[in-house]
């Protein structure tokens, strides 16, 4: 009898300890990806801005960005690891190294009745946003990716790339004659083709499709609105859901600045991304039940701060025009934020995010 009581006590004690060590599940998860944003890019933002929102995070760490087949990843494999929890080959989107479709955090969250959103400054069919909702063996299959977005049941998406949804006859590049924009209302979307009409819209029960440019959005320096403005529109729409939401926000053109080795472009895109980070952190502080995670898929350009002064003036230099294997930063705030400190592989970050949606999910390989 004494033995049985002792065993029951020990089991109960262990269960209590395990429960105590289990992080709180956030109601909302905001995943922010600065495409190409290495620690070097964050350094330029923080050194230039003493009030940078990057200073506000309670936890920070690093992500190892390798893909399944290369030391240096591309955005497709990098985003797939972060959003689906598996490494894959460069070029593959939402599929493992054999081409088998993977479930992303989007699908796991939809099973739990979360709302979902995407906000990017590139086209909506680019590799990073596509990894949330599409399954293809090549990131170049953007017509197929556009088809999959329409039926993905993502509740809100804002970005560019309208040309992949329209036939050649009406300013698109589709040769199949299909006008996917005509399909939006059939799937419950209210469609907006420019920022001004999107901004004027009030949060609705219907889903939101904001495809506001024929190609990518203009660079931040040429827009009269910021990624932060777009992110606020998304949060205002999604926060009404009692079951919570997941939101993917990408500062897409940080990467393009790195590829072009353009310092001013890099700085302005980091400023733009930081505005979105601020919007998300402000919401999380008010809401108190939202995880904000900021990271990158890879570093681009091998950028460094060559010289400068304490007033924030700096000269940047680049070592190449491609991606590098440098570790990238990870910042986290809110329920579950402690899971992302230290050095982690990119797919481990994806798995931890997914388990915050559904703790019962098991992964069988890398």
Beta bridge partners of 95: 101
101 three-class SS: strand
Phi, psi angles (nearest 5°) of residue 315: -110, 125
H or E element at residue 318 = none
The verdict on whether 185 is a catalytic residue reads no
Nearest CA to 121 out of 33, 183, 29, 28 is that of 33
Do residues 145 and 136 touch, judged by C-beta distance below 8 A? yes
**Rounded to whole angstroms, how far apart are CA atoms 95 and 108?**
16
**293 three-state secondary structure:** strand
Among the listed residues 60, 63, 67, 75, the single catalytic one is 75
Burial of 222 (0-12, 13-18, 19+ CB in 10 A): exposed
- Are 365 and 100 spatial neighbours (Cβ–Cβ below 8 Å)? no
Query: Rg of the Cα trace of the chain?
Result: 21
Q: Is 172 left (phi over 0), alpha (psi -120 to 50) or beta?
A: beta
Q: How far is CA 208 from CA 121, 143, 157, 196, 252, in A?
A: 16, 20, 6, 14, 20
Count, residues in the chain: 366
Among 159, 155, 171, which residue's Cα sits nearest to residue 195? 159
Beta-bridged to residue 159, according to DSSP, are 211
Q: Confirm if 361 and 355 have CB atoms less than 8 A apart.
A: yes
Q: How far apart are CA 146 and CA 163, in angstroms?
A: 10
Beta carbons of 360 and 83 less than 8 angstroms apart = no
Q: Where are the alpha helices (DSSP H) in the chain?
A: 2-21, 39-48, 75-84, 105-111, 127-133, 142-150, 195-200, 227-238, 253-260, 263-287, 346-357
**Closest to 123 measured CA to CA, from 93, 91, 147, 146:** 146
Q: Which residues are catalytic?
A: 75
């Amino acid at each position: 009898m004494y033995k049985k009581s002792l065993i029951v006590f020990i089991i109960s004690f262990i269960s209590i300890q395990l429960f105590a060590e289990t992080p709180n599940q956030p109601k909302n998860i905001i995943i922010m990806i600065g495409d190409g944003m290495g620690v070097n890019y964050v350094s330029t933002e923080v050194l230039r801005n003493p009030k940078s929102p990057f200073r506000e995070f309670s936890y920070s760490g690093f992500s190892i960005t390798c893909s399944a087949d290369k030391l240096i990843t591309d955005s497709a494999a990098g985003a797939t690891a972060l959003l689906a929890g598996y490494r894959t080959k460069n070029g593959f989107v939402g599929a493992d190294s054999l081409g088998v479709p993977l479930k992303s955090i989007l699908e796991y969250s939809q099973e739990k009745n979360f709302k979902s959103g995407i906000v990017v400054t590139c086209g909506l069919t680019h590799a990073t946003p596509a990894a949330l909702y599409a399954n293809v063996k090549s990131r170049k299959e953007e017509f197929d990716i556009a088809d999959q977005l329409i039926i993905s049941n993502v509740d809100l998406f804002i970005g560019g790339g309208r040309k992949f949804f329209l036939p050649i006859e009406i300013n698109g590049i589709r040769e199949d004659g299909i006008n996917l924009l005509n399909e939006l209302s059939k799937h419950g979307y209210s469609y907006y083709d420019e920022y001004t009409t999107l901004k004027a819209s009030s949060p609705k029960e219907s889903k939101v499709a904001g495809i506001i440019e024929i190609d990518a959005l203009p660079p931040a320096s040429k827009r009269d609105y910021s990624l932060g403005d777009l992110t606020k529109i998304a949060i205002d729409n999604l926060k009404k859901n009692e079951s919570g939401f997941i939101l993917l926000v990408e500062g897409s053109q940080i990467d393009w600045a790195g590829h072009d080795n353009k310092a001013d472009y890099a700085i302005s895109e980091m400023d733009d991304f930081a505005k979105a980070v601020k919007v998300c952190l402000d919401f999380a502080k008010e809401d108190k039940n939202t995880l904000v995670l900021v990271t990158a898929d890879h570093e681009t350009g091998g950028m460094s701060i060559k010289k400068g002064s304490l007033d924030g003036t700096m000269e940047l230099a680049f070592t190449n025009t491609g991606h590098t294997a440098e570790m990238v930063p990870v910042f986290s705030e809110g329920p579950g934020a402690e899971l992302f400190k230290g050095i982690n592989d990119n797919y481990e970050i994806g798995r931890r995010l997914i388990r915050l949606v559904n703790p019962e999910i098991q992964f069988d390989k890398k």
